[in-house]
């Protein structure tokens, strides 16, 4: 199946697609035990879950940022609860966890990388109430459930703002291929095969 056909099928589900999977509090407990969080812009911290441990690759364009089949690293191995979700997918690209505290934010931006054949899975692990954290997507507030992964079309403008401390998210780049599209189909809620 050609990538453009796979992309058309994926887009037909919508821009923000809830997946039928629930992370437990263990995910945050395991992330908090990692000691090598790297300071990022706007009072955020991050760690890579795939690829190199020491570079978030936020500033300059990076050749490996969008490469498929990036290796799990020690941070992900230290988080078996998160790793079990990663194991459902193939051709995983750059993945990281982010930690936000009161006053930190992601500026409105787009994550489009030309015609990159990947899609984004966004996992807001906690504190998704309006008084804790706000996510702006395509000019509107978008609400998420804590601990639930979403496919997110990051080619549209998006950003978020923290009003509370200790907010944790996981951001995944996943290869657009037949196996991953079947995984998406199996994780769609309320779908019955006819």
What's the DSSP call for residue 192? -
CB neighbours of residue 86 within 10 Å = 18
Q: How far is CA 162 from the centre of its chain?
A: 17
Decide if 75 contacts 117 (C-beta within 8 A).
no
**What pLDDT score was predicted for residue 118?**
86
pLDDT means per 10 residues, the chain with 194 residues, are 76 90 96 95 94 76 70 97 97 95 93 74 97 96 98 92 98 93 90 56
């Amino acid at each position: 199946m050609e990538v453009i056909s796979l992309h058309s099928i994926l887009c037909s589900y919508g821009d923000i697609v809830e997946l039928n999977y629930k992370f437990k509090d263990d995910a945050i407990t395991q992330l908090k035990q990692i000691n090598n969080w790297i300071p990022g812009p706007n009072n955020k911290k991050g760690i890579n879950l795939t690829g190199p441990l020491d570079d978030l690759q936020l500033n300059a364009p990076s050749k490996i940022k969008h490469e498929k089949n990036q290796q799990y690293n020690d941070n992900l191995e230290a988080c078996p609860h998160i790793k079990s979700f990663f194991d459902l997918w193939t051709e995983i690209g750059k993945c990281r966890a982010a930690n936000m505290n009161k006053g930190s934010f992601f500026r409105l931006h787009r994550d489009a990388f030309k015609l990159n054949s990947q899609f984004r899975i966004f996992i807001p692990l906690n504190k998704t109430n309006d008084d804790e954290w706000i996510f702006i997507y395509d000019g509107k507030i978008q609400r998420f459930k804590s601990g639930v992964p979403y496919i997110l079309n990051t080619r549209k403008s998006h950003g978020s703002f923290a009003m509370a401390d200790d907010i944790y998210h996981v951001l995944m780049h996943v290869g657009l291929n037949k196996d991953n599209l079947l995984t998406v189909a199996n994780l769609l809620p309320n779908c019955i095969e006819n």
